[in-house]
Chain A
């Protein structure tokens, strides 16, 4: 009996430790079945690059845009809002979704759908204003107004004098910064948007947790009439997405249909062939859905790395049991301060050394060391600025954004609705 008790105790403890312990630390970055966060970060071209930071040019071309998958309802809602604006009942509109849920793709689709019928303006910000004057200046720059900002009334007058257009702002989170002065700047921008909504159709894209913060701080939901929420892909959507990306992965999907050999004249219809080909992807898509929770970039990344690791050239030769997984053990070992820093980096869509130092009231040196530590764990990708270490820019590795967000929510560092 005593043996049974000991046995039971040992088994129970082993089961508990299996269920509750984070994955074991994987020192070897090249292990086949698990990819460490560090190894993932190193696959980004800009990671560790040393150059002068530049604003990313904002342009939309039909060549690079694919139609968003599973976003038909969202597109319809936005199109309805545009129609209302055309009928002089313009309101502010927002598309809200987590990072890498296809928010930019959706906004680009809106752009392409309307480019023949309307004048469109695609705005992108890379600097958060810290005063009303800076905020007005930024909006003036977007409209090509060269006047010196004098007052908010004048700004509203000038922006209302611009030709009617649909204005898409993809990265509203870059306007938000947890620093003194930013509150007033955002209030100014919100006022200008509200006062010009009849003349211009404003459509903003916002990350889910950033929206939550804007909602808490500024009651932003009171001013937006159409708010379209999108999320990561469902299993079917993910499979569809992966299927659309297969040609870029240099893997063959052609199959031989059995009937072809039996009755030469009876060639199966192309739909049947396509379905049979897609069935090859189904088991992989299921596994990738479990790992990525519908995060398309992560699923695609794991599929690509698995193909490379297994050195296969045909989808049928790829085993879903040996698809690569993530080793996120470094995330589980972070202390309280690092998690707080990570939460602010997440919400701001990336931070410089100087900004983190202001947000946490710490020295530049301490801020730099904190960010560098997180970067070395593979949680951040870094763009170094040669001239000033305070301007080194750190952002969450895009592929693991969902994983990081969930971890931060579970640790009460990001709050959800």
Chain B
């Protein structure tokens, strides 16, 4: 009976009002610090957009380290629990982890794995759970995407890890885009390939530091032979993907029409 009252007394001494206030202050400080860091990174994104992927990637890590620091410091430095309490807590946490097959815990663990061994990062253009868009935020339990329709999609991290992920740019600002054109088989294919390449070079959105490839293929469709010209080129910025596709289409179609390719039939 006496040992029970001692244990209770120990517990009360651990969670004294002073300590709670101090922990709250440290948490508030950490929150303010994170807010300032997020604000600074946001401003840097505007000022130096070329490095926006780097600024975007930094925040999840900074947040992880700051909160980990807060938890360790408050546990070891402020609460400083007795060995028995630590053992009791480990027991309790083990039970929680035992029950962690539940969705939130699964998502958090998946989020931790994504941060340590990232299949995608903030700023990447990915297909996640059937949605294609830019990763705008990477949180503990969820990943946020912005699609080209300007929709914001929230995907649980556990789901992101359990399916195949397609990453279009893997940490780079430029991204490869493939655009196909069908032409009658009678058209001069060499001229068509040259025109397609030159029209792509003329687009102000083409990233010229990487090669432009034009691939020729043929297929039989609706009772006629067609040649397919596929342009594989890099766009300067993943956000310009759709604009780039449209621009290339306009330029290549103009070039093909000027060369009277569609009048060949």
Contacts and interface: CB of A to CB of B under 8 A. Distances in A.
A308 interface: no
Nearest to A360: B204
Given A1-B25, A9-B32, A183-B198, A20 B40 contact: yes
Given A20-B47, A216-B208, A410-B50, 12 more contacts: A5-B32, A12-B36, A20-B43, A22-B47, A178-B204, A213-B208, A217-B201, A340-B204, A359-B204, A410-B49, A412-B236, A415-B208
A5 B28 contact: yes
Contacts of B199: 180
Nearest to B199: A180
Interface string B34-76: 0010011001101111100000000000000000000000000
Contact of B202 (A9, A178, A213, A216): A178
A8 interface: yes
A54 B135 CA distance: 51
Contacts of A43: none
Contacts of A409: 50
B78 interface: no
Nearest to A22: B47
Given A8-B32, A9-B32, A415 B49 contact: no
Interface residues of B, number: 31
B202 A16 contact: no
Nearest to B240: A336
Interface in A1-54: 1, 5, 8-9, 12-13, 16-17, 19-22
Contacts of B25: 1, 5
Contacts of B207: 415
Interface stretch (B87-95, B219-227, B247-255): B247-255
Interface string A234-263: 000000000000000000000000000000
Interface of B: 25, 28-29, 32, 36, 39-40, 43-44, 46-50, 173, 195, 198-199, 201-202, 204-205, 207-209, 236-237, 247, 250-251, 255
A412 B251 CA distance: 23
Interface string A342-381: 0110000000000000011100000000000000000000
A66 to B, nearest CB: 36
6 contacts: A12-B32, A359-B202, A410-B48, A411-B50, A413-B236, A415-B236
A179 interface: yes
Contacts of B202: 178-180, 359
Contacts of A9: 32, 36
Q: What's the interface size class on A, roughly? A: 20 to 34
The 7 closest A-B pairs by CB, nearest first: A20-B43, A216-B208, A412-B50, A183-B198, A12-B36, A216-B209, A16-B40
B204 A13 contact: no
B39 A13 contact: yes
Interface of A: 1, 5, 8-9, 12-13, 16-17, 19-22, 178-180, 183-184, 212-213, 216-217, 332, 340, 343-344, 359-361, 409-413, 415
A411 B49 contact: yes
Given A13-B39, A216-B209, A180 B255 contact: yes
A411 B209 CA distance: 16
Given A216-B209, A415-B209, A361 B49 contact: no
A380 to B, nearest CB: 17
A412 B237 contact: yes
B140 to A, nearest CB: 25
A121 B250 CA distance: 42
A5 B30 CA distance: 11
B27 to A, nearest CB: 12
Contact of A13 (B36, B44, B195): B36
A118 to B, nearest CB: 36
Contacts of A343: 204
Given A213-B208, A410-B48, A180 B198 contact: yes
Contacts of B201: 178, 183, 217
Contacts of A180: 195, 198-199, 202, 255
Contacts of B49: 410-412
B208 A217 contact: yes
B62 to A, nearest CB: 15
Nearest to A344: B204
Contact of B44 (A1, A5, A20, A412): A20
A16 B209 CA distance: 35
Nearest to A356: B204
A361 B251 contact: yes
| Residue of B25, B47, B199 with most partner-chain A CB within 10 A | B47
A228 B50 CA distance: 28
Contacts of A21: 43
Nearest to B44: A20
Nearest to B42: A20
Contacts of B195: 180
A412 B43 contact: no
A16 B250 contact: no
Contacts of A12: 32, 36
B206 to A, nearest CB: 9
B24 to A, nearest CB: 11
Contacts of A184: 198
A184 B204 CA distance: 18
A237 B211 CA distance: 39
Nearest to B49: A411
A5 B209 CA distance: 49
A21 B42 CA distance: 11
Nearest to A183: B198
| Residue of A1, A12, A22 with most partner-chain B CB within 10 A | A12
Nearest to A347: B204
A22 B47 CA distance: 8
B173 A412 contact: yes
A5 B29 CA distance: 8
| Residue of B36, B47, B204, B247 with most partner-chain A CB within 10 A | B204
Contacts of A178: 201-202, 204
